[in-house]
Structure 1
Amino acid sequence: MFGTALSQLRYGAAILRNRRIRPYDLERIARDLVATLAEFGEPGADSALLPGTAGAVDPAVRRTVTERSLRATARAAARHTAYYRRTFDRLGIDPEALTPETWDQVPVTPKAELRGLPAAFVSAVSAPALMALTTGTSGTPTTVWFSRAEVEISVAMSTVSAVLAQGLRPQHTLAYAGCSRATLPLLNVEESVTRIGASFVQLGTVAPAVALDRLAAPLGLRGKAPQITHLTLSASYLAALVEEAEQGGWRAQDFGLTHIGVGGEPLSEPLRERAEAALGAAVSTSYMMTEAVPSGGTPCSEGHLHHTTEFGHLEVLDPVTHAPTEPGGAGMLVQTPYVPYRDCTLLLRYATGDLVRLPGEPPACELAHLPATSQILGRWSGPLSIAVPTRSVLELLEAERDVPLPARSALAEGPPGPRLHVLVRRLPAAGLLGRLEERATALGLGLNAIVLHDDPATMPPTGPVRADLREHTFEPARPATTPVTSPA
């Protein structure tokens, strides 16, 4: 496909020179990938050349591209956004003199600044078209504006990812069980699925019993699998579905799922195992956040999270001092999405709040050429969020059938150490406390005590999860049958 080759060349040249990306080129690449599927059933051998799938790059070339990308992004932000123009003028920073080694001259951008005045980060030469909100589970929702070109680029990349990472094909049907307020992910998924020729179902975060009914229902569509085959949702809503399936007597064979994609929250290994057993499909996870699109992370076979270098610059910094995190240490992800992928809301050294741990030794996995961290540990809320991270708490609790899903817990600080309060089904729970204490020690959690509750009212406040973003529906989970009476 000569046209596709030209599009790939133009796309590559734009990246190397930090020129404007033509959305048409990425759309052409994604469209021809879909055409290859239609003709041959599988992606071609050149799929390794597609955006976001780049292999190892010579370190000198990578450094040159990184320097150009950082300067171009800083230049656009300093010239065209109110926030960074003031910042660069106040500190006397010259965007043209920045290098990867001097990038720390640019101050870290706190999330509160973007939340407080999102318009100050919007480029004056952009054309805002779509306002995307985050879910707000960790505070006030964050507003990010996207241009039409950014949306088209994002959809094209999402199409490529759906084919290569999720194995989506025209005979499949994908259900999106995310909150309908999450505008950008919803738009991306719907557009990419239908461009592939597959079918799309907007499920939403309805009552878990309703969701399971819909997943199990036959579709009866010509040329499609008998039931929904793919499911996209958050980790906590997956936990809610697993709870309903296990407690409601559902079997894996009741569903036709082949793949479940999880994002937005840490996915524990116990929840993955329980979900695969309850719903009968492989569960995978990835990392992406609205503010940093299209930068993201992909897990490898050894459990690292590998971050793309093509779309943005990644740093792992101390959440308080913003000093670089040492190997083996825990820190916060700080993202700089690159121009030209982003042209509307521009962010430099954006403090995501997401915590990770750096490997102690360089990885030797299949994605070792990309920067590696641990999976997301949780959100920064103070030193306790590193000492007792959310992921470890979920690993501890979601292995226990006596803890209802999604697991509800609260950490309370105080001498002689933190106490973990846990909601359980009922008390007394024979042997549960002992098992939790034993596994907490094995996980290295520095807890002074674990306190069990069977009444939420007796617990300290627990943080919200995405499964709490419940969307109501008029349909009951299982409609009651109305008895038919004979006329008198």
Structure 2
Amino acid sequence: MFATAMSQLRYGAAILTNSRIRPRDLERLARDLVATIAEFGEPGEDSALLPGRAGHVDPQLRREVTRRSLRATARAAARHTAHYRRRFAELDLDPGTLEPEDWSRVPVTHKQALRARPTDFVSDAAAPALLALTTGTSGTPTAVWFSRDEIDGAIAFSTISAVLGLGLRPRHTLAYAGCSRATLPLVYAEESTTRTGAGFVQFGTIDPVLALDRLAAPLGLPGKDPRITHLTTSASYLAALVQEAEHHRRHRGDFGLRSISVGGEVLSAPLRRRAEEVFGAAVSSGYLMTEILPSGATPCSLGHLHHTTEFGHLEVLDPVTWEPTAPGGTGTVVHTPYVPYRECTLLLRYATGDLVRLPDGPPDCELAHLPATSEILGRWNGPLSTVVTTRAVLDLVEAEPEVPLPARYALTEGPDGPDGPARLHLLVPRLPATGLLGRLEERAATAGLRLSAIVLHEDRATLPPTTPVRADLREHSFESAGGPGTGRH
């Protein structure tokens, strides 16, 4: 216990002084949490004080930590990266004098800049160890370098989250149904799961029929629950699983799932309900992305996303003017991950492209002490992105069983141009004689969606170009390919 207390003290001192965080201190905190669970069955009250647990912090102390963290991060970026060295010199800007109130003097960093010259954002004081590439569903994959210390620290944070957030215990088994080429999420999922003592199974994005078979199959492992208990995946692949399960009339009694964690894409309310009905497991969706790790956001009981202030600085800005979004307005998440949590790829005021809505006033929930936004509404791709958001479309169409999942749709300009009501094109390969179009139009009107028309398409060739989804990153298997001995033909 003394060693744990010393690790907590060293970690706290590193935060206050923006000095290097020792990965072994974080690893000890995570390891001792697992040991506490093993001995007492549940975490102690002091678990709220662990890194990343969104504990209450005195507002004055938070402001001072924010001030120091922003200055330290700006200094490191201006001294050690080619991109910010140029930008700060061009603006004659001294990072050591910045206050939170004038942080807007630092230019916004656009995703295109990072994609075009990723090494310009890598610190010359760091030791790059792992290149993480995003899936690229919204364009060219983004490349982010991580040091060994960053990886070890993030694994420790992820282990704490697995124990306290997912409730993983040694008797559980987690299946990861994400793209195998997404190296960083796979590493974090495997390491954090096995460090809790739970089992880990890598599915990848295989044929959904095979994934359902594996979820339903008895494990027969000593000390483990009879079937896989936890699933981590993307919203579109979960949609594909729900589609297959409903089609083949599979139900919660076929599975042993307790929890489904969804990330990387918008999870609609209807898909959440349908998945919970099929699998009999709670479905949750937080917010995390490669570029801003370990920063992220946690949902509260009222459906807000609450963004950590420990690991980085959140702004919500207008994606055209880059001015702060007013309460009740929609803007894009702009984030600055702090040093010392980040030491390799450094990013200041990084425009994620993820759209959120700010609450009209202070939220009244259990996480009200943290900055709140709506759930992610979609990606900014021009004015149409805010006329009708991805979440609004998915909430509309994924409530209809006749619409195949994952839904394939496109938005195009209506007669009044890009700022006016949009036209929604939806793929329904076999149009049902059930009044689907009429129901969609009625529900869209009730929800106040700015749509000039809904057009159903039976042939994908007639559908305007659609945005790829992560379920499209299908991975082949000898089972689905009908290889020798599979019995599939």
Q: 1:130, 1:204 → 2: CA distance?
A: 20
Classify the secondary structure of the residue corresponding to 1:139. Answer: coil
Q: Deviations over 1:31-61 (max 9, x none)?
A: 0001111111211221111001132222211
Q: Does 1:439 align with 2:443?
A: yes
1:338 and 1:442 map into 2 onto residues whose CA distance is 43
Q: Is the 8 A contact 2:156 2:192 kept in 1?
A: yes
2: CA distance, partners of 1:391 / 1:330: 13
Q: Deviations over 1:345-382 (max 9, x none)?
A: 00000000000000011101100000000000000001
Residue equivalent to 1:486: none
Partner SS for 1:413: strand
2:16 maps to what in 1? 16
Q: Shift of the alpha carbon at 1:278?
A: 0.8
Q: Where do 1:234-273 residues align within 5 Å?
A: 234-273=234-273
Q: Check the 8 A contact 2:387/2:422 in 1, yes or no.
A: no
The 8 Å contact of residues 235 and 262 in structure 1, kept in 2 or not, is answered as yes
1:356/1:377 contact within 8 Å kept: yes
8 Å Cα contact 1:177/1:202 also seen in 2: yes
Q: Does 1:82 align with 2:54?
A: no
Partner of 1:298: 298
Q: Is residue 209–residue 477 contact of structure 1 (8 Å, CA) maintained in 2?
A: no
Matched to 2:359, the amino acid is P
What is the one-letter code of the residue matched to 1:471?
Answer: E
Give the SS at the match of 2:231: strand
The runs of 5 or more residues in structure 1 that have no matched partner are 483-488
1:372 — aligned with what?
372
Aligned partner of 1:461 among 446, 461, 465 = 465
Separation (CA, whole Å) in 2 of partners of 1:197 and 1:310? 27
Structure 2 unmatched ranges of 5 or more: none
Determine if contact 1:177/1:232 at 8 Å carries over to the other structure. yes
Aligned length: 483
Paired residues of 1:210 and 1:477 also in contact (CA < 8 A): no
In the alignment, what sits opposite 2:109?
Answer: 109
Matches within 5 A, 1:43-82: 43-82=43-82
Whether the aligned pair in 2 keeps the contact of 1:315 and 1:333 (CA below 8 Å) is: yes
Q: Does structure 2 retain, via aligned residues, the 8 Å contact 1:402–1:429?
A: no
Q: Secondary structure at the residue paired with 2:410?
A: strand
AA matched with 2:332: M
Amino acid at match of 2:9: L
1:425 shift after superposition: 4.2
* TM-score, structure 2 as length reference: 0.97
- The answer to whether the Cα contact below 8 Å between 1:433 and 1:452 also exists between their aligned partners in 2 is yes
- How far apart in 2 are the matches of 1:429 and 1:329? 40
Which residue of structure 1 lines up, in the alignment, with residue 138 of structure 2?
138
Three-state SS of the structure 2 residue aligned to 1:200 is strand
Q: Aligned Cα RMSD in Å?
A: 1.3
Distance in 2 between residues matched to 1:295 and 1:157, nearest whole Å:
10
Does the CA-based 8 Å contact 1:232-1:260 persist in structure 2? yes
Q: In structure 2, what is the Cα distance between the partners aligned to 1:17 and 1:176?
A: 37
Match of residue 177 from structure 2: 177
Deviates more, 1:6-15 or 1:50-59: 50-59
CA distance in 1, matches of 2:5, 2:435: 63
Task: Give the equivalent residue in structure 2 for 1:338.
Answer: 338
- 8 Å CA contact 1:378, 1:385 repeated in 2: yes
Q: 2:157 matched to which residue of 1? A: 157
| Maintained 8 Å contact 1:207/1:477 | no
1:408 is matched with 408
User: Counterparts of 1:301 and 1:54 in 2: how far apart (Å)?
Assistant: 15
Rounded Cα–Cα distance in structure 2 between residues aligned with 1:360 and 1:477 = 52
Task: Work out the CA distance in 1 between the residues paired with 2:251 and 2:46.
Answer: 40
Amino acid in the other structure paired with 2:460: P
Match in the other structure for 1:281: 281
The letter for the 1-side match of 2:57 is V
User: Does structure 2 conserve the Cα–Cα contact (< 8 Å) formed by 1:208 and 1:240?
Assistant: yes
Q: Quick check: 1:213–1:477 contact (8 Å CA) kept in 2?
A: no
CA distance in 1, matches of 2:90, 2:219: 61
Match of 1:448 in 2: 452
1:21–1:341 CA contact under 8 A, matched in 2: yes
Q: Give the direction of change, closer, same or farther, for the CA distance of 1:476–1:133 in structure 2 (3 Å limit).
A: same
Structure 1 stretches (4+) deviating beyond 6 angstroms?
A: 477-480
Aligned to 1:198: 198
By how many angstroms is 1:481 displaced? 5.0
Contact 2:414 2:452 in 1 (8 A): no
Shift of 1:414: 3.3
Alignment correspondent of 1:92: 92
Aligned to 1:222: 222
